[in-house]
């Protein structure tokens, strides 16, 4: 299994037209469509209605290649950016995520890392979640080693995608004692879950194509093609 994240500035009209059309394609295990939202700042999220996002789980690269070649959703997203992601570890469950992805916290990986968080929000917990996650988001924006991050939403589906210079930088933010906003959010969720279902997945990015606002968040020279 591989995953991909696709984000493109397509305009409000295309976003609203595509937002409610979850794609189906050969080899596609599961997909979620959303609009993006900047992390942090005001406790009231500001959705970027013209920026469309797709988070997808695939059987293999061939399935993703076929999707990119001829699917209408891929055509709508073609002017943006997408990354190919190889799962390193996961916490929680999500449709399309295999049970055999490692669950241990420590993983043997050098180079850039990506994290995708996925949740199906309990609407009764929305005020708690927004307040708690906003604190963690404001901390992540200043975290050493963060390359880029965004939120994604089509309630009750909520997600984030963040790119990091290294696993060490990611772990220092997620579990380090010096800035407890993220560990505090984890503890609050365990005490009283925010979501009906959730997953926190760490990936090795091995492909990064296109750009957002003229920038590719992960330079191609950082990528490493997986061994056959």
Interval 98-126: pLDDT, tens? 999 998 877 778 889 999 999 999 999 88
The listed CATH number (3.40.50.2020, 3.40.50.720, 3.30.70.100, 3.40.50.150) that belongs to domain 2-210? 3.30.70.100
The pLDDT of residue 111 is: 85
pTM, two decimals, is 0.88
Average pLDDT in the 175-183 region? 57
**3-class state of residue 207 by DSSP:** strand
Q: What is the pLDDT of residues 124-149, one digit of tens each?
A: 988 888 888 777 777 888 888 888 99
How far is 109 from 1, CA to CA, in rounded Å? Answer: 18
| CA atoms within a 13 Å half-sphere pointing along the CA-CB vector of 137 | 23
The domain spans of the chain are: 2-210
Pair of tokens at residue 150: 């965004």
Computed on alpha carbons and rounded to an integer, the radius of gyration of the chain in Å comes to 17
Give 20-79 pLDDT, tens digit per residue. 999 999 999 999 999 999 887 666 668 899 999 999 999 999 999 999 999 999 999 999
Q: Are 198 and 118 in contact (CB under 8 A)?
A: yes
Residue 223 in this model has a pLDDT that exceeds 60: no
68-72 contacts, C-beta under 8 A, 24 or more apart = 71/23, 71/25, 72/23
């Amino acid at each position: 299994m591989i995953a991909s994240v696709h984000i493109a500035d397509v305009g409000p009209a295309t976003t609203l037209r595509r937002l409610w059309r979850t794609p189906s394609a050969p080899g596609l295990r599961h997909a979620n469509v959303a609009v993006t939202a900047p992390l942090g700042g005001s406790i009231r999220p500001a959705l970027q209605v013209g920026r469309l996002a797709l988070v997808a789980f695939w059987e293999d690269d061939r399935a993703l290649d076929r999707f990119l070649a001829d699917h209408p959703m891929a055509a709508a997203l073609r002017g943006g950016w997408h990354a190919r992601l190889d799962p390193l570890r996961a916490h929680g469950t999500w449709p399309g995520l295999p049970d055999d992805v490692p669950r241990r916290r420590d993983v043997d990986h050098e180079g850039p890392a990506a994290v995708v968080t996925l949740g199906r929000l309990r609407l009764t917990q929305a005020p708690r979640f927004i307040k708690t996650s906003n604190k963690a988001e404001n901390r992540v924006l200043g975290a050493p080693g963060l390359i880029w991050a965004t939120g994604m939403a089509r309630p009750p589906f909520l997600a984030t995608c963040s790119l990091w210079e290294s696993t060490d930088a990611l772990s220092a933010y997620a579990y380090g004692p010096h800035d407890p906003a993220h560990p505090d959010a984890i503890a609050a969720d365990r005490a009283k879950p925010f979501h009906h279902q959730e997953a926190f997945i760490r990936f090795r990015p091995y492909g990064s194509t296109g750009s957002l606002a003229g920038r590719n968040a992960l330079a191609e020279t950082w990528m490493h093609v997986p061994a056959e």
